[in-house]
């Protein structure tokens, strides 16, 4: 095994689209910024998220059995910073930025996200410090094309396509 710092250093090169994962449990909303989001299957539409068991949204996701994945646009890094805890704003207060609405499951979906993907948890796998939640997709919203918010090398940026062709 390699030291975890070496692993983290290597993973800094993996550029990832930034999402806010959000849920609602017993009338309280909770959410966090995440890049560990992966499409699993198109039939049935299924994705996975990896959530640290110490994150404040972890237990609400497990207990409510629902979550939304809100893919952020490049101008939404203020939302990403807020949901990563960087600004010190916690819990329900994080939802004071942007307009949120329930879609199908009742998890809050960000209206201005590039896409909002509403999921019901189908399976949870415990892996070291994280839980991998598999979700079947029961609702989707998507916005007109815009640049995604990307995180790499410890900083936020956006995607610049090769050449002048349209990429969406
Ligand atoms: C760009 C970025 C990506 C992140 N991705 C994840 C992730 O995939 N899974 C995770 O558990 N935490 C991830 N985090 C950390 C959480 O956002 C952060 O620990 C959490 O919001 C803290 O919230 P809390 O203080 O309410 O627990 C990421 C942070 C940043 C800045």
Atom of ligand 1 nearest to the CA of 86: 31
| Residue with tokens 């994080």, as numbered in its chain | 94
What pLDDT, in 10s, does the model give residues 46-81? 999 999 999 999 999 999 999 999 999 999 999 999
Instruction: Give the CA-trace dihedral at 78, 81, 83, 87, to 10 degrees.
Output: -100
Q: Can you tell me the distance from the alpha carbon of 19 to that of 116, in angstroms, rounded to the nearest whole number?
A: 9
pLDDT of residue 147: 94
Confidence tier at 163 by pLDDT (50, 70, 90): low
Provide the domain limits for residue 121: 18-152
Domain tally, the chain: 1
Cα–Cα distances (Å) from 8 to 12, 47, 97, 125, 142, in that order, read 6, 23, 30, 22, 32
pTM of the predicted model over 0.75: yes
Atom of ligand 1 nearest to the CA of 151: 1
Q: Can you tell me the distance from the alpha carbon of 53 to that of 13, in angstroms, rounded to the nearest whole number?
A: 24
Nearest residue (CA) to ligand 1, atom 4 = 34
Cβ of 151 below 6 Å from ligand 1 = yes
Q: Can you tell me the distance from the alpha carbon of 24 to that of 119, in angstroms, rounded to the nearest whole number?
A: 12
Cβ of 35 below 6 Å from ligand 1 = yes
12 part of a folded domain: no
Nearest residue (CA) to ligand 1, atom 7 = 34
CA of 163 to the centre of ligand 1 (A): 33
38 part of a folded domain: yes
133 part of a folded domain: yes
Residue 144 has pLDDT above 90, yes or no: no
CATH number at residue 41: 2.30.110.10
Residue 134 has pLDDT above 70, yes or no: yes
What pLDDT, in 10s, does the model give residues 75-126? 999 999 999 999 999 999 999 999 999 999 999 999 999 999 999 999 999 9
């Amino acid at each position: 095994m390699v030291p975890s710092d070496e692993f983290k250093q290597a993973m800094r090169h993996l550029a990832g689209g930034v999402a806010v994962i959000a849920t609602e449990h017993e009338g309280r909303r909770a959410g966090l910024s995440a890049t560990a989001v992966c499409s699993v299957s198109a039939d049935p539409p299924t994705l996975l998220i990896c959530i640290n068991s110490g994150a404040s949204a972890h237990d609400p996701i497990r207990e409510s059995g629902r979550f939304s994945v809100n893919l952020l646009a490049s101008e939404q890094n203020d939302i990403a910073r807020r949901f990563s805890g960087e600004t010190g704003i916690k819990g329900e207060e994080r939802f004071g930025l942007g307009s949120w609405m329930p879609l199908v499951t009742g998890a809050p979906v960000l209206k201005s996200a590039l896409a909002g993907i509403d999921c019901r948890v189908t399976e949870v796998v415990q892996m070291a410090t994280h839980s991998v939640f598999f979700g079947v997709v029961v609702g989707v919203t998507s916005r007109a094309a815009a640049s995604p918010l990307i995180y790499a090398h410890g900083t936020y940026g956006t995607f610049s396509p090769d050449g002048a062709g349209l990429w969406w």
